[in-house]
Structure 1
Amino acid sequence: MMIVPTYVGPSAIEGVGVFAGEFIPAGTPIWTLDERFDLLLGAAEMLALPPLQKQFVERYGYPHMTREGLTVLEFDHGRFMNHSDTPNTNFTDPETGWAIRDIVAGEELVCNYAEFDPAFIMQPGRMFGAAVSRAAS
């Protein structure tokens, strides 16, 4: 769950993205895993999903870093965070994401998907429903 003020808006990277609602100093925690807002799906639950819902979870979810077989699906703005090879955040901790430099209000928050999804492969952006843009969990 995002724990700093954010909003979703048009992104120059792809579609929409998550933007800082106010100045975020370097070192500030910006996200925390909160099972009240972040759904954890087991392998059996993933297999039982209808195709369209499974595609949605594969696009917006990611494997939990330390709890094998679980997929995390965020229900807040965090699920719209875009990938960057030069992120302004750090998500190497499975419980907390951090700002790694000062982030000004209105700046897009970006992360490196490979920090928490070892199967991540950058693919050309495609609209949801046509094809997934992240590797399957």
Structure 2
Amino acid sequence: MMLIRTRVAPSAIHGMGLFAVDPVRGGTQVWRFLPGFDHSFSPEEFERLPELAREHARWFCFVSRLDGHVILSGDHACFINHCLAPNTGAPADAKPPVTTVALRDIRAGEEITCNYADYDADTDWKLGRVPSGAPLGARASHRAEKASGA
């Protein structure tokens, strides 16, 4: 669940993005898994979902590098775009469930970004480095990662 006020708007990075409404101080917790609002699927639970549900959810979820669970946020956190110099990320002592903090001060109106590779085991799929039918967490070759800059 987003813990700061945000809005969805067109992004210079990709399609739509998530933007801070108010200034955010570095170190502020900006997202936290909230049971009952956000959903955590075990990999087995995710695979049992109907195919169309999996296809939809995969675009809007992340696969936790910490425990392999598929996390689907109940709000618009799915509009946080990938960036190699992000303004949010996991705290150094991260453990499930995932929490995200501001890595530096964020200005009002600034796009909220994160480096998908820091927490999402399905990053290569989201960035188009593996075929669309690849299983959750499929990895691209090292050469493909270098070419895309992640």
Per the TM superposition, whether the score is higher than 0.5 is yes
- 5+ residue gaps, structure 2, are 138-150
| Aligned partner letter, 1:40 | S
Q: How does 1:32-43 map to 2 (within 5 A)?
A: 32-43=32-43
- The size of the alignment, in residue pairs, is 129
Please give the root-mean-square deviation of Cα atoms over the aligned residues, in Å.
2.2
- Cα contact 2:62–2:121 (8 A) shared by 1: no
DSSP-derived class of the 1:44 partner:
helix
Q: Which has the higher contact order (CA 8 A, sep 6+)?
A: 1
Q: How does 1:79-98 map to 2 (within 5 A)?
A: 79-91=78-90, 93=94, 94=96, 95-98=98-101
| Aligned partner letter, 1:73 | L
Provide, for residues 92-132 of structure 1, a one-character-per-residue CA deviation record: whole Å limited to 9, x for no partner.
524321111111111100000001023422228xxxxxx96
- 5+ residue gaps, structure 1, are 125-130
| Aligned partner letter, 1:53 | A
Once the two structures are TM-superposed, the CA of residue 27 in structure 1 deviates from its matched residue by 1.3
Inter-partner Cα distance in structure 1 for 2:75 and 2:84: 23
| Aligned partner letter, 1:76 | D
DSSP-derived class of the 2:55 partner:
helix
- Cα contact 1:84–1:110 (8 A) shared by 2: yes
2:65 is equivalent to residue 65 of structure 1: yes
DSSP-derived class of the 1:23 partner:
coil
The structure number with the bigger radius of gyration is 2
Once the two structures are TM-superposed, the CA of residue 136 in structure 1 deviates from its matched residue by 3.0
- Cα contact 1:91–1:111 (8 A) shared by 2: no
| TM-score, with length taken from structure 2 | 0.76
Q: How does 1:1-137 map to 2 (within 5 A)?
A: 1-68=1-68, 70-91=69-90, 93=94, 94=96, 95-121=98-124, 122-123=127-128, 136-137=136-137
DSSP-derived class of the 1:53 partner:
helix
Inter-partner Cα distance in structure 2 for 1:64 and 1:37: 17
Would you identify which runs of 4 or more consecutive aligned residues in structure 1 move more than 6 Å?
none
Structure richer in helix, relative to its length: 2
- Cα contact 2:30–2:100 (8 A) shared by 1: yes
DSSP-derived class of the 2:78 partner:
helix
Once the two structures are TM-superposed, the CA of residue 44 in structure 1 deviates from its matched residue by 2.7
Inter-partner Cα distance in structure 2 for 1:119 and 1:16: 20
Q: Quote the sequence identity (%).
A: 35
| Aligned partner letter, 2:39 | L
| TM-score, with length taken from structure 1 | 0.83
